[in-house]
Amino acid sequence: MVSNNSKRTVRRALVAGAIALGAVTVSAGPAMAEPINIPGVGTFDLPAGVTVPPEIANIVPPAPAPQAGSFTAPFSSVGQRAADAAQSKIGAPYVYGAAGPSSFDCSGLVQWAYKQAGLSVPRTSYEQASAGAPVDVAALQPGDVVSFYGGSHTGIYIGGGNIVHASTSSQPVKIAPLNSMPVDGARRF
């Protein structure tokens, strides 16, 4: 519902804009009000003798600005941002000891991805396997760091039963099924 104050403000703005454009004509005819309809706003009575050409009368006003606090930004966890960052490196070469941005080893990819998400994590796979909070494999969420082979290899869980990891030389950063290697544990940062 549009308030009377809003209607008056819109009417004044239209008349002032039309006058500024020279589009309003004033006649010396009888003192009768002329109604004007503005789509999405309402119908207004203009002062007697004021006319607005149809091309101005049919202007659709912009949508009202959102009220403060009505916008909710989509939530993205640190883990999800890390998973997204790691996935952005799919196809990057594996290089032992590399931590990005153009080549990676397994723990270097994890460390680099978390750095992109704004969090510092340890450098080696063994340190990553003991940092953060332990997570049951059945409760994995995107971004959880999964350890394999007794902690000698890490990857980032991306959902759907998959991880992204820098597996070994001759293999680029890639997505693999979580169960393609023996899982040692998982950590959440």
Confidence of residue 53 (pLDDT cuts 50, 70, 90): low
Residue 99 annotated as catalytic: no
- Average pLDDT along the chain: 82
Cis peptide before 39 (omega within 30 of 0): no
Number of Cβ within 10 Å of residue 48's Cβ equals: 13
* Annotated catalytic residue within 11, 81, 153, 187: 153
Higher pLDDT, 60 or 162: 162
CATH 3.90.1720.10 domain extents, the chain: 78-188
Please check the confidence at residue 24 and state whether its pLDDT lies above 50.
Answer: no
Q: Residue 160: what residue type?
A: G
Residue 77 annotated as catalytic: no
Please check the confidence at residue 21 and state whether its pLDDT lies above 60.
Answer: no
pLDDT digits (tens, 9 = 90+) for 172-182: 999 999 999 99
Residue 26 pLDDT = 47
Higher pLDDT, 74 or 183: 183
Residue 43 pLDDT = 73
pLDDT digits (tens, 9 = 90+) for 84-142: 999 999 999 999 999 999 999 999 999 999 999 999 999 999 999 999 999 999 999 99
Name the pTM for this structure.
0.62
* Annotated catalytic residue within 11, 81, 89, 165: 165
Residue 165 annotated as catalytic: yes
Confidence of residue 74 (pLDDT cuts 50, 70, 90): confident
Segments of 95-182 assigned E as strands? 133-134, 145-148, 153-159, 162-166, 173-177
* Annotated catalytic residue within 18, 50, 86, 106: 106
Confidence of residue 81 (pLDDT cuts 50, 70, 90): very high
Confidence of residue 29 (pLDDT cuts 50, 70, 90): very low
- Cα–Cα dist 125/107, whole Å: 5
Domain 78-188 architecture:
Alpha-Beta Complex (3.90)
Check if the beta carbon of residue 113 is closer than 8 Å to that of residue 128.
no
Residue 45 pLDDT = 72
